Amino acid sequence: MLIKTTNRLLKALVYFYFISLCGACLSQKDRAGTFLCLTDSYNREIKLDKEPQKIISLSPGITEMLFLLNAEDKLIGISDYCNFPEETQYINKVGGLQNINIEKIVSLQPDVVLIGSIIPKKEVEKLEKSGITVIALKQEEKLEGLLETMTMLGQIVNNSVCADSLVERYERQLEEYRENYNCDKAAAKKPTVYYVVSFGSAGDFTAPANTHINEIIQYAGGRNIGDTLSTWNISREYLFTQNPDLIFIRPEELPFFVKTYPYNLLDAVKENRVYPIESGWVDVISPRNFLAIELMRGKVLNFRY
């Protein structure tokens, strides 16, 4: 009798344990019904019920990172300025950064639209009124912002393993650059660098202090001649006062720059210290910024006064 009672109690305990376990699993499943909750760069709470399968990117940097995260198959649309890597030519274009084709975006029925910091707020509101989820991944004017964006993108495309690996690698590189940059600070003088954003009739522009381009030059071991500027404008008087040691410019513009007066009077031009560099490596915060640092650093280290 005691044995039968004990068996019934054991069965009851097992039954209740099983029910409670199932209940716990169900409650976990309910919680897991939301794929991802995050706070975007506009400090908005974004909730994704499922992993996005159809993504539109309106940022060249974000598009590049999605390819690195092996999420290119999810890209159904990109901005006209998203031209790297080469495979982007086969993806639907949905307009420029200031003239987005809202109708086309809506027709593609994306699960989510990813934007950087250039898209006008009114365009974002139009997209959201159409029932489209928009996530803003604003990249600050610091290379560390790239790492934060990569981490968030890894969560969005459900590939945090790859994102974390890339972030770890980039963090190591930045730390190495910082150490080299700090060591270089002990030097009596650093080579001065002029990155030509624009010149001639279009106006003279270069990267001021509060930009990621200034960081790129610093990590390369040089001193950006624009590091005392607060705007992108640079006067020719200031340019010639600085008389930079090294000049970097887009490959297609280099032949015109070195032959144009008065730039052809700069010492760097006369002594063939003007070097081509792809704008895509510099102008947008992206993993290719590390290529820019390496190229510039090679020229900086080889410079002799």
Check whether 185 has a pLDDT greater than 90. Answer: no
> Span 36-162: which CATH code?
3.40.50.1980
Check whether 286 has a pLDDT greater than 90. Answer: yes
Whole-angstrom distance, CA of residue 162 vs CA of residue 30: 27
> Span 176-302: which CATH code?
3.40.50.1980
Buried b (16+ CB within 10 A) or exposed e, 116-155: bbebeeebbebbeeeebbbbbbbbebebebbbbbbebbbe
* Preceding omega of 287 cis (within 30 degrees of 0): no
Higher pLDDT, 113 or 6: 113
pLDDT of residue 97: 75
192-242 confidence digits (pLDDT tens): 999 999 999 999 999 999 999 999 999 999 999 999 999 999 999 999 999
| Residues 292 and 277: beta-carbon distance below 8 Å | yes
Check whether 107 has a pLDDT greater than 80. Answer: yes
pLDDT bin (cut points 50, 70, 90) of residue 17 is: very low
Whole-angstrom distance, CA of residue 262 vs CA of residue 283: 25
| Residues 281 and 217: beta-carbon distance below 8 Å | no
70-83 confidence digits (pLDDT tens): 999 999 999 999 99
Instruction: Give the residue range(s) of CATH 3.40.50.1980 domains in the chain.
Output: 36-162, 176-302
Cβ burial of 240 (10 Å; 0-12, 13-18, 19+) is middle
3 state DSSP class of 162 = helix
Average pLDDT over residues 174-198: 81
Which residues, at least 6 apart from 131, have a Cβ–Cβ distance to it below 8 Å? none
pLDDT of residue 20: 38
235-285 confidence digits (pLDDT tens): 999 999 999 999 999 999 999 999 999 999 999 999 999 999 999 999 999
Check whether 26 has a pLDDT greater than 50. Answer: no
Average pLDDT, the chain: 87
Average pLDDT over residues 49-63: 95
pLDDT of residue 5: 40
pLDDT bin (cut points 50, 70, 90) of residue 89 is: very high
* Preceding omega of 262 cis (within 30 degrees of 0): yes
